Amino acid sequence: MKKLLLAFSIFLSCLICNSQTWEKSFSPGDFDLNGQYLGGSEVMQLVSHKKKLYASIGYWQDATNIWYGGSNSNIGWGQIIRKDNSIGNWQEDFKFGANYLRPEILKQLIFTKDAQGNLLTSPDTLLIAAGYSPNYVTSIVSAKAFVRNDNNDVWEESSIFQGGLPAGENYSIRDIQVYTDQITGIEQINVSLGTHGIFTGTYNPNITGSIDWNSIPEIGPLSIRSLGIVQANNGLYFSSGNKLYKREDGVNFSYSVIHDFSDLSTTINSAVGGVRGLTTISNPNGNNEALLLMWCPDGQSKGTIYRLEPNGNGGFDRYYETKISLLVENYLAGSSVSYLLGAYNEFYEYTDPITNDTYHIIGFESSISSGVHPTWNGYYSGALYAKRDNNMQYTLEEVNGAIGLNDTALVAIRCYVKSPFDSDESIYFGGFDPNSNISTNMAWIYKKTYQNTSLSEISTTKELLKIIDILGRQTKEIKNSLLFYIYNDGTVEKKIIIE
């Protein structure tokens, strides 16, 4: 019987092998070179700052923390960890201290003006983190910002706001944005502080923490915490539940609802949030800017992506792009998605160094029903992310390839960032989401490296690691079936052996 082998490598193009390899970058539960404990249940953000890589680590539902059964009150609180080069080890850069369960935000910001609106001699690039700390003795909750002083490697704190219990969503700090009022010329930092509203501050290098905060919010209280603040078309916007607000600039500034999603849902589960991942993008149908977002109103959310384009009348027209749950059901054949939550941070723009194609990346988690695919407390164990191309088409990829039944669960991708290191064509991914389950040392960071290799450089001794079918299950060679052959050099081949 004649045997026909149809095989092609998904990474081979003409005379070039485009290799994409995955590598675990951070595993919690150990000590750094300085003897500091590095643990955590989730990686919240990844940020490149002055050619170094920083990650924020949270301990929600981590049993190392004394709130969840831990015995050492000195560890188990929010941390910022740092990586100095592509081959170096992660180390603790900052410890928030007691009752700061996790860093709510970590972001690099650039200030160009002082508090009076005068241009600085040179812009100042700051790495800023923020979080809140509830004191159950005094019933006071403190929300603070922490700015890294790169001259002495010390983090300087400043108080944003103090209020009463309860904490949680009331003090959740999910975004920070620098914006210049188009009327007054004043540059200020805007921070979303849970249901208390949008707080502001101005740059002042002569005080500790470099930010002079206004203790009264510009707008607030809000019924639903804000999950995103963006600048687009010379305006400032923020989301809250099913509303998108715009700041009306001037001495007597105000805020107005510029787009309402109430036609999609009038009831928003505050823990889920409504509008998530608000991001400014180039308008595909104009010369201005559009907004991209994920719509997640409740516990039945399916991760619907919408694009908002300026309509010329001061508002936006809404365009449906995709529903991520449908992509997951196609990727995980035979599965049914009952709930999908994503866009923990922004849609991240990234240019593939091999193809030069530009994508927007968005991470998520999905609760699935399936007896085939591995799950963790009802959520798919693997870490999936969607890639949006310039034609507004979406595809899914998975961190470290298809996850195995015995592999450690990854569950959710929360953040991503291009490597800041020279000659390192990589992108880092981080995440996990406890979803109210005990999740000790479940935080993770993976690194995806892109390599251009000529055929003459390809090793002829590559080793087959495993064969998986279209459902991600490890298998033996089967005739007349599409199979994926995974090798130790990171290449993957699709094969159909027809007999």
Q: How buried is 278 (Cβ within 10 angstroms: 0-12 exposed, 13-18 middle, 19+ buried)?
A: buried
pLDDT digits 0-9 by tens, 334-359: 999 999 999 999 999 999 998 999 99
Q: Which residue has the higher pLDDT, 488 or 10?
A: 488
For 77-116, the DSSP string reads S-EEEEE-STTSPPEEEEE--TT--S-SEEEEEEEEE-TT
Q: Which residue has the higher pLDDT, 15 or 53?
A: 53
| Nearest-angstrom CA–CA distance, 176 and 358 | 25
Q: Residue 133 corresponds to which tokens in the numbers above? A: 């700390």
> Given a cut of 60, is residue 172 above it in pLDDT?
yes
* Cα end-to-end distance, the chain, whole Å: 7
> Given a cut of 90, is residue 238 above it in pLDDT?
yes
Q: How buried is 387 (Cβ within 10 angstroms: 0-12 exposed, 13-18 middle, 19+ buried)?
A: middle
Q: How many CB atoms lie within 10 A of CB 444?
A: 26
Where would I find the beta strands (DSSP E) of 370-488? 375-376, 379-380, 384-388, 394-398, 413-418, 426-431, 444-454, 464-468, 482-487
> Strand order in 316-323's β-sheet?
274-282, 289-296, 304-310, 316-323
Q: What pLDDT is attached to residue 451?
A: 73
Q: What pLDDT is attached to residue 488?
A: 53
| Nearest-angstrom CA–CA distance, 197 and 349 | 28
Q: What is the mean pLDDT of residues 293-312?
A: 97
Containing 128, the helix (H) or strand (E) segment is strand 119-135
Q: What pLDDT is attached to residue 499?
A: 56
Question: Angle 140-144-149 (CA atoms, 0-180°, nearest 5)?
Answer: 150
Question: Angle 146-151-156 (CA atoms, 0-180°, nearest 5)?
Answer: 20
C-alpha distance from residue 180 to each of 202, 218, 234, 469 (Å): 10, 14, 9, 53
The percent of residues above 90 in pLDDT, for the chain, comes to 84
> Given a cut of 60, is residue 17 above it in pLDDT?
no
Q: What pLDDT is attached to residue 4?
A: 37
pTM: 0.88
Residue 438: φ, ψ to 5°:
-55, 125
Q: Which residue has the higher pLDDT, 437 or 497?
A: 437
> Given a cut of 70, is residue 294 above it in pLDDT?
yes
Question: Angle 354-357-359 (CA atoms, 0-180°, nearest 5)?
Answer: 120
The alpha carbons of the chain give a radius of gyration, in whole angstroms, of 23
Q: Residue 138 corresponds to which tokens in the numbers above? A: 């005094």
| Nearest-angstrom CA–CA distance, 262 and 181 | 29
Longest dimension (CA), the chain: 84
| Whole-number average pLDDT of the chain | 91
Split at pLDDT 50, 70, 90, the class of 19 is low
The percent of residues above 70 in pLDDT, for the chain, comes to 90
> Given a cut of 70, is residue 100 above it in pLDDT?
yes
> Given a cut of 60, is residue 136 above it in pLDDT?
yes
| Nearest-angstrom CA–CA distance, 187 and 178 | 7
Q: What is the mean pLDDT of residues 157-183?
A: 97
Q: What pLDDT is attached to residue 210?
A: 97
Split at pLDDT 50, 70, 90, the class of 473 is low
C-alpha distance from residue 77 to each of 53, 60, 70, 94, 131 (Å): 20, 9, 11, 11, 11
Question: Angle 416-300-43 (CA atoms, 0-180°, nearest 5)?
Answer: 25
Q: What pLDDT is attached to residue 453?
A: 47
Q: What is the torsion angle, in degrees rounded to the nearest 10, for the CA atoms of residue 370, residue 376, residue 378 and residue 382?
A: -60
Strand-pair category, 358-369 with 384-388: antiparallel
Q: What pLDDT is attached to residue 494?
A: 67
pLDDT digits 0-9 by tens, 358-370: 999 999 999 999 7
Q: What pLDDT is attached to residue 457?
A: 39
